[in-house]
Amino acid sequence: ICAVLVTFFASLSAYAVSRFKFPGRMLIPAGMLALSMFPQISIIGYLFKLMIGLGWINTYSALIFPYISLGMPLALWIMLSYFSQLPDELDKAGLVDGATRFQVFNQIILPLALPGAFATGLLIFIVSFNEFLFALMLTVDYRSRTIPVGIALFQGLHGRIPWGSVMAGAVIASIPIVVLAAVFQKQIVQGLTKGAIKG
């Protein structure tokens, strides 16, 4: 859910920043980058109080919304670098043909930027999958815990840590990430490198 939503919102934001010439437009990605530099530990207390107020502790919503804000800066910068290399003439041609701005984005620009969007989605999936602190603080029982937190809280007999079970769980949990990275390695590399070259 986070990977899909972050990729969608980052694509819309990157398109707006790269295409519309408004004052201070580069402050948006710079501001998001600056906000992402705050350590997670500095905001977890406020986030915990907010989630208690909303009644979201121990729900998926308590993790989805923070993960969206956590992944947006990375996704925005990747998509911005990708959209910046696509010529403005494509937009102008679509608008001359009678398409709306959203149709130009959806039917012309986004298909061309699909490798970048795909790489962004995979990276955000990996970031969300591996996130630990928010998942530890905002979930209180096994029904809503993520895999990293579940593995970290394995308990053996008499409080001993069952290292064998922990290692086995870690290996099994890493299989989806390894498979995704291996299968889509080419698309990830293309999505990240093509956006870095203009021309």
Q: What is the enclosing helix (H) or strand (E) of 7? A: helix 2-19
Q: Given its phi and psi angles, is residue 159 left (phi above 0), alpha (psi -120 to 50 degrees) or beta? A: left
- Would you state the pLDDT for residue 6? 95
CB atoms within 10 A of CB 149: 19
Residues 63/135, Cβ–Cβ less than 8 Å: yes
Contacts of the segment 163-167: beta carbons below 8 A, 24+ positions apart: none
Q: Cα–Cα distance between 74 and 81 in angstroms, integer? A: 11
pLDDT in tens, the chain (199 residues): 999 999 999 999 999 999 888 888 888 888 888 888 888 898 899 999 999 999 999 999 999 999 999 999 999 998 998 888 888 898 999 999 999 999 999 999 988 888 889 889 988 999 999 999 999 999 888 888 899 998 888 876 567 888 888 899 899 988 988 888 888 777 667 666 665 444 4
- Would you state the pLDDT for residue 56? 92
- Would you state the pLDDT for residue 197? 47
Q: In terms of Cα–Cα distance, which of 89, 101, 127, 118 is closest to 10?
A: 118
Residues 138/62, Cβ–Cβ less than 8 Å: yes
Residues 118/79, Cβ–Cβ less than 8 Å: no
Report DSSP state, residue 41.
G
Residues 28/90, Cβ–Cβ less than 8 Å: no
Q: List Cα–Cα distances, 91 to 19, 117, 119, in angstroms.
A: 9, 18, 23
- Would you state the pLDDT for residue 198? 46
